[in-house]
Structure 1
C-alpha cells in the first residue's frame, strides 16, 4: 500500500479501513482497477462502502480528464514492458544496479552479476530492479503553514513505512531501527467526564456541544441515565450505538444481592421502615422482569427466555445498533440506557440493568476525533464490573464537567457531593487537569446575575477542602450555558451562553499537535541515525564520544536517583506522621461512622449491610458514598496530599519528581560543534532522550494512580476478613454484632496503618527503579547503536531526511 491510497482514505474520512487496504496491498494503480465485488470485500459496512464508491468515481473522472496528456509523453509506440528492454534502459539499469550496490540498499548476493549480457541480463535484473527501485520523489510543499498537521503526519508516516520496509532487520541495528519506527505509533484520546443530577441538563449540553439535538434523550422527572455513555466520532456514515453487557455470572450475583437486600429489609426487626439512601433493588429487577421476578429463585431468573431479544448478552459480544439519524438511534438505544418509573406501550422491557457501557458514535464530526465525552452516573454502581469501569473512566479523565442548574449552582448539594466523592480519583489518584462547573438554563439571565453566580460558585469551591487538597484555583472554572437557546440558533450572547467557549476548550484538546510533533520529532531522529550510520569514517572520534556520553549518563542517572530518594524520604516522614495520627483518632473516626447521630437503627443497618457486602463501600442512590476504608486511611492521605500533588502533577508541563526527569540531559547540543562528523548520531540521541522522558512521564502518570490509591487498597485488604464476618450476621441484634465485630477487628489490627505506609514507600521505590532502569537501558542502547554498531547494509534516506527535517522545523519553528 502506498501513501497515495492512505492519504485518499484519510481525506475521505475512511481511515478505519486503511488496515484492510494495506492487508490486500492496494496501491495507487490497483485502487483505480477495483471492481464492485472487491470493494464489497474490502469495506464490509454499507455506509462507508457507499461513501468510498462515490469518492472513487469522482477520482476516476478527475483522472480521465488528465490521462490523454500523460499518455502523450510516450511517443515511441513501445509498450511499457518493451520500453524496459531498450538499449538506453539496459544501460540505465546497469548504472542503477551499481548505485544500489554502492549505497548498500541491497545485499550484494541478492543482485545478478553486472557482467551478464543481453536479454538474460535484462530479465534477471528487471524483477530485482522493480522491487528495489526508490519510490518517485514526492512533491512536498514545506513552506510554513502550507500543510495541515494531518497532512504532515500522513506524509511522515508514509515515509517511515517505506523506510521500515527497506530495513531487512537481519542485523542488530536494522532490527533496532524497525522497532524504533514501530514505537512511533501512539494515539492520545482525551476523556471528558460529564457529571450531574437527573434533570440538570447533561444530555442537552452534550447534544448542543456536538450539534445533534436528538442524540441523547433529555432526562425527565421519571427518567435518568442509568449507565455510562461514551460519545465519540466515527468515520462511517451512520450513527451507531455499541452496547457492552456485563457477564451473565455478574448479573446472577447481582440478582442474588438485590433479592437478599429486599429480604433483609422485610425481615429485620431493627428496621423502622426507612431505607432512603439505599439503591432501589425492586426497581432494578422490575425494569428487566416486570413482576415476574417476585417469588422466583435467582436460578430461575437466569432462564434464556428473559434474554431472547438480546442474544449478545448470552454470548457475550457487543451489540451494535445503527441509524441514519441521531433521533432514530436514540429511539433504538433508550431501553439500554434509561431508568423509567412506568412502562410504556413501546417499551415492555428495559435492559439497562444488564449494560456495562454504551458507546455512541457520531458521523462527520472531526470535533471528537481525539476526544470522548463520557456521561457518567455520579457515584458509580453497586455492580462490581460497572463500578470498576466507572472508576477507570474517572481516573482517566483529563477534564471534568459538573453540570447543575443556574438557579441553584452554588448551593446544590448533589453536585458538590459528586465532586467531593470523586476528587481523590480525579486528582492525586487520577490525571484530571481541569474542572469545569457548568451552570445550565442561563436563558435571559443578565450579565450582573451571571457574575454573582460565578463568584458564589468559586467561593464555594474554596471552602471545600476535600477538593482543594487535589486541585488549585487555577484548575477550576465556571461557565454558564443555555443548550436550548444554542440549539435553536438564536442570537447567543457569548458572555451569558458560553457553549462556544466549551467548544473551543474541546477543540484545543482535540488538537493533534502533540501526536504530530512527537511522531515527526521521533522520525527525524531515526532518519538521522540511519543516514549517520552509513558513514564509518570517524571511528576514533566515535570511540571518544562514546566514552564521554557513558560518563555523562552515569552522572545524570546519579542526579535523578538522589532527587527521587530525597523526595521519597520526605514522603516517609509525612506518612510516619499520618500513622501516628491514625492510631490516635481511628477509634473516634470509626465511631462517627458506626454511630451516625442522625440515623435511627433500621436505616443504618441497611447501609452497613451494603458496606460490608461491598468490601467497605456503599454507593447510595443519592448523596455521598460511604467508604469505611477511606475514613480509616484519611489521616494517611491527608498527610501526603499536598506533597503528592506537587511531586506528581497531572499537568506534565510542571514536571514529575519536582522536575528531576525533565532535568536529565546528555547535553548533545553542546557536543555537536566539537563532534561535527557525528552530528546526525547526536541528533538521534537528542530525540531519543526527549522520547524516553515523554514515555517515562506517561508511565509515572499511570503508576502514581496505583501508588496513591494503595493507601485505601491496603486498608481494604486488611479489613476484608472483618467485612466477611460481619456480612454473615442475621436476625435480632444484627446491628450490634456487626458494630462490635468491626470495632474489635480495627483494635486488633492497628498495625495495618504501618503496613499501609510501607506499601506506599515500596511502590515509590519500585517507581524510582523503573525510572532509572528505563533511562539507563534506553540511553545505553541508543548510544551503542549510534556509535558502536558494526558496519551493516542501510538504505540511503537523505531525501527522506530532508523532507522530514523541513516538517520538523515547520512544527517547532526552527527550535526544539
Structure 2
C-alpha cells in the first residue's frame, strides 16, 4: 500500500478500512482494477462500500482526463497581480507570504467537489485583494466592506420529530453512515433533550453538552416537591406529571431524593462528576470513534429502561441537559447540514422551550418519523405535525415535510414465504403505506393551511435492510434518496455562484475605476440609473402598501370574530371538567405556566392559542401568500425578485461603463438575496406577534389565578380567568395593531435597505476617483473563468472535473517548482 491509497481513503471518510487495504497490498496502480466482488470483500459495510465505488468512479474519470489532455496552467495564478504602483518586489512577496493559497484541496464527491475548489480559489483571491486595499479613501473602504459581505455561512437545519421507539436514532445513524453514533435499543430516549448532529472541523468525534442553569434546576426541584407532597393520597400511576418528576429525580439521585429536601438536593456533592453544571459551562467530550463517544454521552441523553442489577447508584444527567451537539468528522452529508432530534412539543423548562421554538422555526426541512405499521393512523405522529405546523410554516422557514415510515422490512407471518415473495409483499405494503399517509395528509386542514401537496413527501425506509440488504436493494430502502436530499442541501451550488459572481462584480468595479474610461458619461449614466432605481422602488412600495391594506382588512375581520367567540371558547375550555376532578390539576398547571400545559403524553394545551385562533386564522392564507417559504417565489408577490436597474439594456449604450454596470448588476442580485433571507427571518417575528401579545396581556390574570389554594380553588381560577379576559377585551385590537406595526417596520426596513444600498453603489461606482486602487486585471480574468465554469455548463460534471484536475496539477507544480520558502 502507498500513500496515494491511504490519502484517498482518508479523504473519502474511509479511514477505518486503511489497514484492510494495506493487508491486501492495494496501491495506486491496482486500485483502478478492483471489481465489484473484490470491493465487497475489502469493504464489508454497504454504506462505506457505496461511497468507495462512487469516489473510485470519479477517480477513474480524472485519471482518464489526465491521460488524454494536458491541463493548461497560467503561471500568473501563483501570485496575484504585482503591478501595484509604488510597491517593491520584496513588498509584494511579503504580501503573498501572508496570503498563501490554501493547501491542496480535499476532493469531495461529485458534483460539489469542483465547486469547493473554485470557491476556495476565489476566496483566496478576494482575501489578497482585500489586504491590498487601503483605508485612505471612501471607495477603498466601501470595497473592503463589500468583500467582507460576500461571505455567508449558511447551514440548513433538518428537524427530526417522532415518538420514542419510532427508530429516529437508527435512521440518523444509517443516513450519515455512522452505525454506532446515536444509541438505541435497551435505553429510553429522554423527551426533553435536544440532540444536534453536525460536521466537525477536527478529526475527532465530539459531543458538546449544554446544561440548564442551576437556578432553573432549583426551581424544578421545588416544583417537584410541591407536586409530590400534594399527590400522596392520589392515584399516582395515572398522573403523568408525578411519574415525570419521579423519573427525573431517580435518574439523577437514585432513591436518595425521597429523604431529602429540595435545598439538600442542590448540594455540590451530587454534581461532582459534572462541575461544568455548577460553573455554568458546557462540557466537551472527544473520542476517536463513534462507538466510544456514544458510550460516553448516553448518560446525558437517555437512561436505562429498568434500573436493574449493576445499575444501582448509576447517575443519568439528562434532567440537567438542555442540548447535546454531536459532531462527526469527515462526513459528506453534514458539511452544511445539521440534523436535530427534537422533542415533540417543547418543554415546561423555559430555556429548553425557547431553544426548541427557535430551532423549530429555523428548520428548512422537517422529518416526521413513525413506524410503518399503521403509519397513516399513527395518532402521535400527526399530533406532533399539527402542533408544530404553524411554527414551521407561517411562523418558520420550512420548505418541505418528509413523513418517514421506518422499519419497512418488518412483516408478520413471513416464515413460510420465499425471499422473492417477501420482497414483493414488502414493496406492496410500502406503497400502501405511502398512499394511506398521503390520504391522511389531505384530511389535515390545519397542516394544509401552511403546506401544499408538493411540499409533503412520504418515504418508507429500513435502516436494517440498508445495512445488510437481505430482502431489499439499497435504493428500495429509500435511505439513499434521503442521503441524496442531504447532499443537495450540502452542494449549495447557488451559494458558490453568488460568491463568485459577487467577487467578479467587485473586481470589475476596481478595474473599471482604474481605467477611468467613463468620465465623460458619468452624469448621464448616473441619471439614468437613478431614474430606474426610483421607478423600481415605487413598484416595491406600491406592492407593500397593497399588502398592508390586505392585512389590515383580514385582521379587522379577525378582531370581530374574536370578540364574538371568546366567551364560548373560554366556557368550553374552563368548564370541560364540570365536576373538577383531574381538570383541577390541569387548569392549575395551565395558569402556573402562563396559559400552556405540556403533558408528558397527549396533546399540548394552550389557552392563549385558543384565544388568538380567530386572529391567526384570519391572516394565515394571506401570510403564506405574502411570505412563502418555497424559494421559487419571493415575498410580497415576488416584487423584490423582479427589482432591476435594467443594467443589461445599458451595456450597449454605455460600453465604457460596462465594468461599473457589471458591478451594479451583481450588487442588485446580492441585495435581493440578502433581503429575502432577512424577510424569512423577520416574518417569523411578525407572525408570532399575535400570540405573544395575547400571552403578555393574559399573564397578569394567570398569576392571580395561580395564587389560589384550598377549597373552591377550581371555581376561583375559572372566575379569575373569565373576569380578566372580559376586562381586557381590547387585547384583540392590540394584537392586531402590534402585528401591523411589525409588518410596517419590516416593509420600511426593506425599502430603506434597498434604496440606500443601490444608491450608494451607484454613487461609488461613478463619482469616485480610483487612482489609489490596485491593478486587479489578472484576478478579474481568473474569476471570470471560474464563473463561466459554474454557470456555463452547470450540469457538465466532466468539465468541472477537468478543471479540478487542472487546479490540482497547478498546485503540485507550484509546490515542487518554486524556490524553498516561496509562497503560493
Name the TM-score class by shorter chain: 0.7 to 0.9
Corresponding position: 1:619 with 2:585 = no
Equivalent position of 2:149 in the other structure: 183
CA shift in 2, pair 1:127/1:290, >3 Å: same
Aligned mates of 1:512, 1:391 — CA distance in 2: 26
Equivalent position of 2:566 in the other structure: 586
Aligned mates of 2:102, 2:170 — CA distance in 1: 48
Q: Map 1:379-778 onto structure 2 (within 5 A).
A: 379-443=345-409, 444=422, 445-490=425-470, 492-493=472-473, 496-596=476-576, 601-778=580-757
CA shift in 2, pair 1:441/1:133, >3 Å: closer
Corresponding position: 1:313 with 2:283 = no
Corresponding position: 1:301 with 2:259 = no
Q: Give RMSD over aligned pairs.
A: 2.8
Corresponding position: 1:786 with 2:765 = yes
Describe the SS at the equivalent of 2:373: helix
Aligned mates of 1:291, 1:688 — CA distance in 2: 65
- The runs of 5 or more residues in structure 2 that have no matched partner are 1-6, 14-80, 410-421, 795-824
Equivalent position of 2:255 in the other structure: 291
CA shift in 2, pair 1:294/1:160, >3 Å: same
CA shift in 2, pair 1:680/1:222, >3 Å: closer
State the Cα deviation string for residues 399-433 of structure 1 (Å, max 9, x = none): 11111111120111111111111111110000011
Deviation at 1:535, TM superposition (A): 2.1
Deviation at 1:224, TM superposition (A): 4.4
Return the TM-score normalized by structure 1.
0.82
Aligned mates of 1:733, 1:272 — CA distance in 2: 23
State the Cα deviation string for residues 175-200 of structure 1 (Å, max 9, x = none): 11111111111111111111111111
Structure 1 stretches (4+) deviating beyond 6 angstroms? Answer: 11-14, 132-141, 144-147
Aligned mates of 1:139, 1:289 — CA distance in 2: 51
Equivalent position of 2:786 in the other structure: 807
Deviation at 1:518, TM superposition (A): 1.4
Deviation at 1:274, TM superposition (A): 4.8
Aligned mates of 1:138, 1:290 — CA distance in 2: 53
Deviation at 1:631, TM superposition (A): 0.7
Q: Map 1:183-222 onto structure 2 (within 5 A).
A: 183-220=149-186
State the Cα deviation string for residues 680-726 of structure 1 (Å, max 9, x = none): 00000000000001000000000011111111000000100001111
Describe the SS at the equivalent of 1:294: helix
Aligned mates of 2:220, 2:560 — CA distance in 1: 40
Describe the SS at the equivalent of 1:192: strand
Partners of 1:531 and 1:796 within 8 A in 2: yes
Deviation at 1:332, TM superposition (A): 0.8
Aligned mates of 1:652, 1:548 — CA distance in 2: 31
Higher mean displacement: 348-357 or 548-557: 548-557
State the Cα deviation string for residues 725-779 of structure 1 (Å, max 9, x = none): 1111111211111111111111111110010111111111001100100001101
CA shift in 2, pair 1:609/1:131, >3 Å: same
State the Cα deviation string for residues 75-100 of structure 1 (Å, max 9, x = none): xxxxxxxxxxxxxxxxxxxxxxxx98
Aligned mates of 1:606, 1:210 — CA distance in 2: 44
Aligned mates of 2:295, 2:583 — CA distance in 1: 40
State the Cα deviation string for residues 272-297 of structure 1 (Å, max 9, x = none): 98534777112112211222223533
Deviation at 1:145, TM superposition (A): 8.9
Higher mean displacement: 444-453 or 461-470: 444-453
CA shift in 2, pair 1:587/1:786, >3 Å: same
Higher mean displacement: 206-215 or 567-576: 206-215
Instruction: Determine which of 121, 130, 136 is the counterpart of 1:170.
Output: 136
Partners of 2:186 and 2:304 within 8 A in 1: no
Partners of 2:591 and 2:706 within 8 A in 1: yes
Return the TM-score normalized by structure 2.
0.81
Deviation at 1:265, TM superposition (A): 3.4
Aligned mates of 1:351, 1:773 — CA distance in 2: 50
Aligned mates of 2:704, 2:359 — CA distance in 1: 32
Aligned mates of 2:92, 2:450 — CA distance in 1: 63
- The runs of 5 or more residues in structure 1 that have no matched partner are 1-7, 15-98, 112-124
CA shift in 2, pair 1:227/1:600, >3 Å: farther
